[in-house]
Amino acid sequence: MAKGGWQEFSRSESLQRPESGNGGAASAPTPRAQQRVRVQRTKAGKGGKLVTAITGLEAPEAELKGLLKQLKAAAGTGGTLKAGVIELQGDQVAAALAALEQAGFRPKQAGG
């Protein structure tokens, strides 16, 4: 047999087994009160426009979309969900902190 001819663990199916085996642990997310949720205002990459970024939320995308809807209503502004980060238009830190606390999270203000 040639060197490297038999590759049991290099196939994509065998690499995915441990992740699916951990499905039980992944289905129990961190409780809302224990998540490290950060709220900060930023301009980076937004053409000089101010946005409020909310990071550290550990929830399924459907739940994040529902939370985004609540935050947009509380702040009275637009927003989006990008790669697990909620972005609200404008400086909405105070409104976001209040709405997240009401939803059961323990958010902290990050940055200046």
pLDDT digits (tens, 9 = 90+) for 45-65: 778 889 999 999 888 888 999
How far apart are alpha carbons 61 and 51 in whole angstroms? 21
From residue 101, give the alpha-carbon distance in Å to each of 22, 33, 83, 94. 30, 9, 22, 11
pLDDT in tens, 28-37: 667 777 788 8
In a domain, residue 23? The reply is: no
Residue 44 has pLDDT above 70, yes or no: yes
- For the chain, what is the domain count? 1
In a domain, residue 48? The reply is: yes
In a domain, residue 3? The reply is: no
In a domain, residue 55? The reply is: yes
At 70 the pLDDT is 93
In a domain, residue 81? The reply is: yes
Query: Which pTM value belongs to this model?
Result: 0.70
At 103 the pLDDT is 87
In a domain, residue 2? The reply is: no
Domain extent for 52:
30-109
In a domain, residue 12? The reply is: no
How far apart are alpha carbons 19 and 36 in whole angstroms? 24
How far from the centroid of its chain's Cα atoms is residue 55's Cα?
A: 5
From residue 109, give the alpha-carbon distance in Å to each of 8, 14, 41, 52. 48, 42, 9, 10
The CATH number covering residue 72 comes to 3.30.780.10
In a domain, residue 74? The reply is: yes
How far apart are alpha carbons 100 and 107 in whole angstroms? 7
